[in-house]
Amino acid sequence: MLKGERVSYNVFAMGRMETIWAPDCSEFKPDRWLKDGVFVDPESSFKFPTFQAGPRICLGKELAEIQMKLIASHLIYHFQFTMQEKNPPMTYRSIVFRVRGGLPIRVHPRTH
């Protein structure tokens, strides 16, 4: 590598690498982020660099994570979500992660 050259990496691809995440890397397993039922950050922000890492880490990371947890817990507590289609959703490969044709779901209020 020479001085002045650009370096880039693909966060989408890194999130699906067997060498980083194990052979089941392409499976949706939210429990990867739980230890004894409690959310834990990955051991290195360089391993999962959604909010960047090192001295240039996103200043809003903590607030974004708190907001995400509050909204997700509120929605899960009050509603039940059911996917309309039996096939797994297809995604676009782009900078912004999108689902092809949207993600058709039914939302039902929960009764407590």
Structure tokens at 25: 């890397």
Cα(110)–Cα(82) distance, integer angstroms = 12
In 3-state terms, what secondary structure has residue 100? coil
Q: What is the pTM of this model?
A: 0.57
Question: What per-residue confidence (pLDDT) applies to 16?
Answer: 82
Cα(18)–Cα(42) distance, integer angstroms = 16
Structure tokens at 29: 């397993």
Would the pLDDT of 61 be above 90?
A: no
Would the pLDDT of 37 be above 80?
A: yes
5-19, 66-80, 87-101 — most confident range: 66-80
Would the pLDDT of 42 be above 80?
A: no
pLDDT bucket at 107, cuts 50 / 70 / 90? very high
Structure tokens at 78: 């009050």
Phi, psi of 11 (to 5 degrees): -65, -40
